[in-house]
Structure 1
Amino acid sequence: MSNMNIEEKTFFGHPRALFILFFTEMWERFSFYGMKALLVFYLVKYHLFSDDAGNLLVGSYAALVYAVPVIGGFIADKYLGFRKAIVFGGIMLVLGHLGMAFEGNAATQSMTGEITRDNFALQVFYFSLALIILGVGFLKANISSLVGELYEVGDKRRDSGFTLFYMGINLGSFLATIICVWLGETYGWSYGFGAAGIGMFFGLMTFISGRKLLQGKGESNAPEYLEKTSFGIKNEWIIYGLSVLSTLIFWQVVQRHEVVSYSLQLAGAVSFIYIVYYAITQLNGKAREQLFALTILIVFTIVFWALFEQAYTSMNLFADRALDRTVFGTEIPAGTFLSFNALFIILLAPVFAWLWVKMGKYNPNTAVKFSLALMLVGLGFGALVMGINVSGLGKVAAIWLILTYFLHTCGELCLSPVGLSAVTKLSPVKIVGFMMGVWFLATASSEFIASVLANIASVDTSNGLAPDLNIAKQSYLKLFEYLFYTGLGFGALLLVLSPVIKKLMHGVDKELNN
């Protein structure tokens, strides 16, 4: 009887555990985006990396962050369960973010241009990134899966529960890009990175303290296996130990961009070959065509995210070097402009949800929404092109970058909410997990491609600063023009293909839009 009473207790109509997961994810995203917002500045200004090297390191790190959750999700599904995987991931994240707070000595550049760096501090930094990669790998996918476990099949509260959960993600991102960036730019990098680590600690403590509210959800599917011993050690601890040892691999790989590039290309090629093989040998008719439709959509998402993720590299450096950031006599830190994406999502997500419902039978199909997303991300760069062209010899007005974030966020809302749903609805039942992995792999690839594209706007720096404003502006103009045409071009191509893709989806598209 008491268990029934516990089960009936809700908060705002949702399981109370949802709000534990809400605040856990909010703090985890606070730490993740706070660190990421500072990362390229830390590399270029403190360790005096070139733009090329800084962009590629951010790209390699982000690619691994999106690829490793595929492995973390598999381990949680088969062995650990979501709860233990999240706790382990949280511990790794706290250690990684606190390791980032160790600055060491700043790099120096001599009159001849020779740069001297603190190699020990750099290795601590790389190892801290490896811990964060591992931590996100165990936490990111599994906490979303745990939210799903809170609701029974057919529970009408599920969608609104996920909406609340994603509000936590964006609230964490919004706060991080203001607080961590301000601390890092004003008081020192260790303060910004340290704040991210403290945020993750709060998230971990929140999750651990709310274990009772989970009511047994997210536990291991193989508890007997975890209790068994191998070589005198419990299997559960062997899993943790091997996972920690994997940081030695990530520590080295994150420093070697060519390894990340080749690995992504190989994984992408193998995945594509397997999809085609599976479609031809295991499927026929409707199921085969739906899988092909999903594969086409995933390819176009790579283009979208490669453009969208310029925010943390080229757009961040552009804001620092070429944007007029002075408001009422106070200069706003460049990274703070990243907060507009999260703010616009919080404000516009309900509007877009209402709009799709209101449009009824005129609601665009999924392929058309994806094409709109590509065009909007392209138009965002068009706004920056216009801003640079009207700025004359001075700095670019901040309103142009804010407009870019508005357009990019509108594009994100046309693509992101529908995408994961499309994966679950269009994938054959036996390979849903594999196709979800392909989705994350595509995102990882786009992160790396984004860093390569950002290098089109690389600027020669001296002691981490761009010495000539107008040379910098012309470099960014070249990149933003290229991305403007890329977004519009691929958007138009997908729009032309949309009737074919809609036909291949065999009515699932209508279900997705309702």
Structure 2
Amino acid sequence: MQSLKALFRQPKSVFLLSFVQMWNRFSHYGMRALLVLFMLHALKFSTPFALGVYAVFCALVELGGVLGAYLAQKTFGLRRAILYGGWIVALGHLSLAMKWFFPGLALLIVGSSLFSTNITALIGEFYQPQDVRRQGGFTLFYMGINVGALLATILCGFLAENFGWEYGFGLAAAGMVLGNLALLKFRHLLSGKGETPEAPKKGLPLLLIGLGGFAILCMVGQSISLPLLPILAVGLGILIFRKLRKQNIPLKGLALSLVTLVLFFAAEEQIGSSLVVFTSEKTTHTLFGLPMATSSILSLNPIVIIFFGAIANALYLKIKNPSRRLAIPFLIVAGALALLSFSHMAIPILPLSSVMGVVALISFAELLVGPMLYTTCSEVSSAAKDPKVMGLVPIGFSLAALLGGTMSKFITATGYDLGFLVVAAMVTLFGIGLGGLQARIRQVTSA
């Protein structure tokens, strides 16, 4: 009971920002639950093209966060960046509802670039460096993310598949509008933090329009941008690493964490891509005799994170060997994908519960990877006293989305059985490789 009271003993601003983020994630995950299915069934895109667009979109949302953080620091300020980003996101969802597809995705990329990284940074401003409430505040923030994701994947998917796509995207837009209205109504709780550092420059609208245009070109030309965007992401990462190296900070542990992030979340990205397509084509679409929307499989991810976080944390702490901590999540994912492949070889049309089980296992493995990634990044960020360290996280996620897109296109192109088995074998090799580096990993993670 005391720990629960401590959890909720936070600045009022943290509750406000957690509420706003919950509705942003509601809108984001509601849209992502529909995106691949919308391209396949409403727009009649081919499967490779749809999966390529999905991967490029996810990568640009992450990469844009680096630019959004820079613009907030130099011109907008955190609060205005969040507010402007939220309104642009809402317009993006409405554009999708009206089938203005690529302009809608471009608006979502621009809006998310301004919103996502900056709301996390604004929460951090309400704590002193040694404030013991910080962890509890970010726990509430993370809870809000997953509550929003859970509600969205259920409600937006149900509306879209039973009443029409425009209702699903419209509900996603309504969620973002609600979050923004709350921020406007209760902005006094922010106590002036996150305000504009200087007058916004006149060229900013053109810059944002240019970003949207670049995003459209990348998505339409996904077959070209899918292999080229990693070069941009890696280049940004190298620039950040070079600046950090000048501060004589040990970066081996950070580099290892980022490689782990890219390789693991490339496989995890299959939840929203190849597994959605597989569910649409190769399952019964019923659970315990009740009809279920294809997008409902995505609701397992936040459910597992919300209800099994404590179990995963206990298991993570129990595994003392650093190499095993890194290897086990990969082996769980590999086992889940291999099991799905062998099951489909035996039963051409699988029960929906089989895919749900795979999603649940991958989501549980995610809980084992997350603590290591964010702990390492936050420790290096504190040591460097440089927020650019956290800019490496969206760069890592963008690379994961691009690699995941390549995986999903391979899975669907070569046949689900062979595709899932090959990806499972690759993920197994990643895990074994990390396990084989036991002594080196100990040296790196203790550096």
Give the AA of the match of 1:424.
S
CA gap 1:495/1:156 in 2 versus in 1, 3 angstroms: same
Q: Is the 8 A contact 2:89 2:112 kept in 1?
A: yes
Give the aligned partner of residue 219 of structure 1.
Answer: 195
TM-score (ref. length: structure 1): 0.80
Correspondence 1:353 to 2:307:
no
Structure 2 unaligned residues grouped into runs of 5+: 1-5
CA gap 1:48/1:481 in 2 versus in 1, 3 angstroms: same
Aligned counterpart for 1:81 among listed residues 77, 81, 86: 77
Per the TM alignment, residue 319 of structure 1 is displaced from its structure 2 partner at its CA by 0.8
Rounded Cα–Cα distance in structure 2 between residues aligned with 1:311 and 1:356: 23
Give the aligned partner of residue 277 of structure 2.
Answer: 317
Deviations 1:161-194 (A, max 9, x none): 1111111111111111111011111111111111
Per the TM alignment, residue 408 of structure 1 is displaced from its structure 2 partner at its CA by 0.7
Q: Percent identical across equivalent pairs?
A: 29
Give the AA of the match of 1:389.
M
Give the aligned partner of residue 260 of structure 1.
Answer: 225
Q: Is the 8 A contact 2:267 2:333 kept in 1?
A: yes
1:428-447 alignment runs, 5 A limit: 432-447=386-401
Rounded Cα–Cα distance in structure 1 between residues aligned with 2:211 and 2:235: 23
Q: RMSD over aligned Cα, in angstroms?
A: 2.4
Rounded Cα–Cα distance in structure 1 between residues aligned with 2:310 and 2:261: 23
142-151 vs 434-443, greater mean Cα deviation? 434-443
Per the TM alignment, residue 258 of structure 1 is displaced from its structure 2 partner at its CA by 4.3
Partner SS state of residue 50, structure 2: helix
Partner SS state of residue 437, structure 2: helix
Rounded Cα–Cα distance in structure 1 between residues aligned with 2:112 and 2:35: 16
CA gap 1:137/1:298 in 2 versus in 1, 3 angstroms: same
CA gap 1:162/1:503 in 2 versus in 1, 3 angstroms: same
Give the aligned partner of residue 407 of structure 1.
Answer: 361
Aligned counterpart for 1:186 among listed residues 162, 167, 180: 162
1:158-173 alignment runs, 5 A limit: 158-173=134-149
Per the TM alignment, residue 218 of structure 1 is displaced from its structure 2 partner at its CA by 1.7
Give the AA of the match of 1:183.
L
Give the aligned partner of residue 17 of structure 1.
Answer: 13
Per the TM alignment, residue 138 of structure 1 is displaced from its structure 2 partner at its CA by 0.5
CA gap 1:349/1:276 in 2 versus in 1, 3 angstroms: closer
Deviations 1:104-163 (A, max 9, x none): xxxxxxxxxxxxxxxxxxxx2101100000011001011111121122221111111111
Give the aligned partner of residue 109 of structure 1.
Answer: none
CA gap 1:237/1:213 in 2 versus in 1, 3 angstroms: farther
Rounded Cα–Cα distance in structure 2 between residues aligned with 1:276 and 1:25: 29
Give the AA of the match of 1:457.
I
How many residue pairs get aligned? The number is 442
Partner SS state of residue 44, structure 2: coil
Rounded Cα–Cα distance in structure 1 between residues aligned with 2:144 and 2:171: 18
496-505 vs 44-53, greater mean Cα deviation? 496-505
Q: Is the 8 A contact 1:376 1:487 kept in 2?
A: no
Q: Is the 8 A contact 1:456 1:478 kept in 2?
A: no
Deviations 1:311-345 (A, max 9, x none): 11110011111112223543211111110111010
Correspondence 1:305 to 2:301:
no
Structure 1 unaligned residues grouped into runs of 5+: 1-9, 104-123, 227-234, 460-473, 508-514
CA gap 1:431/1:389 in 2 versus in 1, 3 angstroms: farther
Q: Is the 8 A contact 1:61 1:129 kept in 2?
A: yes
Q: Is the 8 A contact 1:76 1:85 kept in 2?
A: yes
1:106-505 alignment runs, 5 A limit: 124-220=100-196, 222=197, 225-226=198-199, 235-236=200-201, 238-271=203-236, 274=239, 282=246, 287=249, 290-356=250-316, 359=318, 363-365=320-322, 367-391=323-347, 393=348, 395-426=349-380, 432-458=386-412, 475-505=415-445
Rounded Cα–Cα distance in structure 2 between residues aligned with 1:335 and 1:263: 30
Give the AA of the match of 1:248.
G
Deviations 1:275-314 (A, max 9, x none): 77668x7466xx3xx3133213312321111110011111
